[in-house]
Amino acid sequence: MRTIKTRSIHTYAFLSGVICVGFCLLLLLATPDIAQEKGSQDLLSQADAILQQMSELTGLPIRSPVKKQVVSRPEVEKYLIQNLHTEMTPAELHAQEALVRALGLVSQDFDLEKFVISFYTEQAAGFYDPSRKTMFIADWIPAEMQTMALSHELTHALQDQSWDLGHFLHSVRDNDDATAARLAVVEGHATAAMMQEATGALNLGQVPSLASLMESVLQEQFGDFPALAQAPYFIRMQAFFPYLQGLGFIQAGLQHGGWRDLGALFEHPPESTHEIFEPQSYFQHEVIPSIALAHPSALEGLPSLHFLAENVMGELGYYSLIGQLVSDDEAKQLGPSWRGDRYLLYEHPGGDDYALVARVRWSNGEASQSFFRDYHTILTHKYPELTSDSRSSSDVFVGTAANRVCLLLRNGDECLWAEGLPPARTDAMLAWLRGL
């Protein structure tokens, strides 16, 4: 049985990394009082001048010319499909769909590929492709927005020439959370550079939370973009995290130095999305130990279970999960307490029934107790017929629904759970979880 260490749903492989560097989203270019008015002239003819401006602003050298191309919506859609199939095998795409279905975040008929293509074709303003060393600009956006798209994408070109973005993003491919953190550096840096170019001499490091301002603008515009408006909270959070929280991280970097000092963030990138959400964690060199989670012996050899994937959810994943299935306020309160996790994903025959095994560590026992309550609530919503048995207590839940078993344990600052299990393996899995 082949093990797939797949890039999970909440990271760049699902949305932002479908294009290696991601799209400069049209929504992010619509921020009021920041966009500069330009004429309706062909701004691609000015790309070289804008490249020079972004080089001077960021301190990144121009090592070679950048290829440029205007693309239509059909061309963007075709490119997206080709890139998605290059980035991910059919098995990996299937595992991506399976994870969000297993977590109860989307319906069982959710089509990952269709959603990704629709989402980005709807919103794309431009993108830079490191493999082709080419900057693409959408031909349907207003001229004044093209200027900002060019400044964003040409910053990606400069990043690529200094740090090889393809290698930068793929070098931690077996850790989704670390990859998402690196993508936030890439997109946050380009978004901040775009803002800096638009605002002139304004010190972005001293501006109160540009990310919050941009998030408010995005929420106001949801209705103008059907794919975005219909996307679950979890998916929207994954899509905008590299831009919004990434921008906040770069603002914190600017407070520790100028534009030319930001290269250190690429040379020594953050290793978790926790460091993006909480920049002081990065700048104070907080160490987040990795979490081990072996394949349970209690589930080995079961013909009814097919192992699909294992990886790290990270603070981003848990924030998004709690935000959608509990509340945004709870996600904001509990998310910063994340201190490490690991999950295993299995599939039952038929393709619409899954088993999850997971382990997550929090900063203290109070936070782990909060998550224990939150995830118990999530389980009761996912499995309406879930009934508790006599082994349940304040720190242990054992429940059964529709011939599947759910186990949830709290042990100090950790929570461990397994759901969608065959009933015959309940005692063995409970003992295994208690032994971790």
pLDDT of residue 32: 36
Q: What confidence category does residue 183 fall into, taking pLDDT thresholds of 50, 70 and 90?
A: very high
Position with higher pLDDT, 233 vs 7: 233
pLDDT of residue 371: 98
pLDDT of residue 169: 92
Whether the pLDDT of residue 149 is over 90: the answer is no
Whether the pLDDT of residue 206 is over 90: the answer is no
The domain 297-434 is placed in CATH, from the list 3.40.50.300, 3.40.1000.70, 1.10.8.420, 3.40.50.1000, at 3.40.1000.70
Q: What is the DSSP letter of 290?
A: P
Q: Residue 257, SS3?
A: coil
Whether the pLDDT of residue 186 is over 60: the answer is yes
Q: Residue 159, SS3?
A: helix
pLDDT of residue 173: 80
Residue-wise pLDDT tens digits, 20-40: 344 455 444 444 333 333 433
pLDDT of residue 144: 67
Given a contact cutoff of 8 angstroms between Cβ atoms, the answer to whether 27 and 217 are in contact is: yes
Whether the pLDDT of residue 13 is over 50: the answer is no
Whether the pLDDT of residue 17 is over 70: the answer is no
The domain ranges of the chain are: 16-283, 297-434
Which of 93-102, 178-187, 413-422 has the lowest average pLDDT? 93-102
Whether the pLDDT of residue 274 is over 90: the answer is yes
Given a contact cutoff of 8 angstroms between Cβ atoms, the answer to whether 238 and 320 are in contact is: yes
pLDDT of residue 14: 44
Given a contact cutoff of 8 angstroms between Cβ atoms, the answer to whether 263 and 159 are in contact is: no
- Pairing state of beta strands 134-138 and 67-71? parallel
CA-based nearest residue to 34, from 294, 289, 162, 213: 213
Position with higher pLDDT, 388 vs 139: 388
As a whole number, mean pLDDT of residues 250-270 equals: 95
Name the one residue in this structure whose structure tokens are 């998605």: 84
As a whole number, mean pLDDT of residues 203-212 equals: 82
Query: Would the pTM of this model clear 0.85, i.e. be above it?
Result: yes
Q: What confidence category does residue 121 fall into, taking pLDDT thresholds of 50, 70 and 90?
A: confident
Whether the pLDDT of residue 178 is over 90: the answer is yes
Query: Strand runs (DSSP E) across 231-337, as ranges?
Result: 306-311
DSSP 177-201: HHHHHHHHHHHHHHHHHHHHHHHTT
CA-based nearest residue to 332, from 280, 370, 297, 378: 370
pLDDT of residue 12: 37
DSSP 215-231: HHHHHHTGGG-HHHHHS
Rounded distance, CA 309 to CA 295, Å?
Answer: 11
Amino acid (1-letter code) at residue 126 = G
Q: Classify the C-alpha dihedral 134-19-216-159 as positive or negative.
A: negative
